[in-house]
Structure formats: structure tokens, C-alpha cells
Homo-oligomer: A and B are copies of this chain.
């Protein structure tokens, strides 16, 4: 028993933490979990890059679609949180991030951040193949939530949106609503752990929410010239909308390319 299990639809169901990857880090309610693939033998040396496929893709999809996964700890894991023998179901976790990292052996591995969900809703029994309409909730409950959020400087995003008149620098759409124009001030190298990007205009793009999702999930990246956008699937290339007033930080773009899109170039 080990690793990531997922349905035939590619939905992650459970994750086992049992010490198979030396880089896993267990903090109890927060886990940094290494994806699978690319080792010469289970628990062995990393010889090729991990890819966004199979269980890795299923876990990333849980992040994208905000579906919780079951966590199982095995006795091989961190003794502080793991059972003395066998395996134990530990409740539901949310995948809150994933990124590529250079492993000790060289090739890229994919790391996932999992955060425990307080008072989780029951997931139901996955063995019953359930294609019926879910009952849902007529009166959905609330729960207290807390955490750390990054204090952004509102002037940074405002300046970016104004500089590009809220136009998406990738697809050029301008979203118009009765409340005004809208674009996201999207950080190239993300703020906060583990990426620690800067909240400065050189690290921010004006993107529509759709292109923001594509960018944050590595479906598109920017080349070293800071003006060509590449679509990973199919390799389409397109000119980034730029402004002479706005210098884009080359290092942030390189960081995104490596750690988010998993691209060495």
C-alpha cells in the first residue's frame, strides 16, 4: 500500500504518507508531499523528471477543483504523527498548492501542499458507483476558518490594471461589468510560502481570471525574453501584451517556468 490512489475519472481519493519519499515533510495539519514517478526503484534514486500525470495529475486536479482527499498515515512516516504499526485514516485534507522542485538527485519532482480541513463534510463511500444527482444542502452550514493571508499593497495591482486598462496581457480580453472593468493583478512568482515572490509591479501581470488559472496551473508560461507566451499543450506561441512603463522581472518569469510549468529551459 502506498502513494496516491485515484478513480478512473482521474479524481484523487486518498494519499498515503508512510516515508516512501525522503523529502516528504509532515507538520500534522500541513504536509508537503512528493508526487510519484521517475525513481529507479521504489524509494530509490530520482533519475528522470516527475511528470504531471496519473496520481500527480489527480492531486493537482483536487487542488484545481477544490475536492478534498483522504489522508492515510503509515507506520513508516514521521513518528510524531504516524501510527506505531499499520495504516490509519487521518481525515480529509485539501490540496492547497503544488510546484516543481529540483530533487537532491537532480531531476524535477512535484511537491504538493496538503492542509487539514476542520470539520469536514463527509465524502461518502467511494465504492458505490454514484452517478445520481447529489442531494446537496438546502441550508449549508458555516464553519470558522482562519489562517495567514498575505498583506498585499493595493497600489501594486491598481497600477498594473491601470497601466493595461484592465486588458488581459495574454488573451487581450477586457471584462466589463456594471461595477467597472476587471482584471486580476496576478503574481508571476507567487507570494508566500514556499515561493516567496515580491509584491512589486515587476512581478505582477494583468490577466483575466481564465488566463490567471492557466498561468497558475502552468498551462502557459513566459519565455526568457519576457514577451512570448507559450502554451504548454501544443506549444502555441503568442506575444505578451507589454507596456514600456512596465518592466517584467526576468527571474520571476524563470521561477514560474521552472517551478510552476516544470520547464527546464
Contacts and interface: CB of A to CB of B under 8 A. Distances in A.
A222 interface: no
* In the complex, the 10 A-B pairs of residues with the closest C-beta atoms, listed nearest first: A60-B179, A209-B209, A136-B200, A134-B155, A177-B217, A146-B146, A61-B180, A140-B199, A177-B219, A52-B178
Nearest to A52: B178
Contacts of A232: 178
Interface stretch (A26-34, A37-45, A65-73, A81-89): A65-73
Interface of A: 9-11, 52, 57, 60-61, 63-68, 98, 119, 121, 123-124, 133-159, 161-162, 173, 175-180, 182, 191-192, 198-201, 208-210, 212-214, 217-219, 232-233, 245, 262
Contacts of A138: 198-200
Contacts of A64: 177, 179-180, 182
Contacts of A60: 178-180
5 contacts: A63-B179, A176-B219, A176-B233, A177-B217, A209-B213
A76 to B, nearest CB: 28
Contacts of A210: 173, 175, 208-210
A161 B155 CA distance: 36
A151 B141 contact: yes
Contacts of A161: 65
A181 to B, nearest CB: 9
Copies in the complex: 2
A135 B210 CA distance: 28
Given A10-B180, A52-B178, A178-B60, A143 B151 contact: yes
A161 B150 CA distance: 30
Contacts of A245: 133
Contacts of A139: 198
A214 B123 contact: no
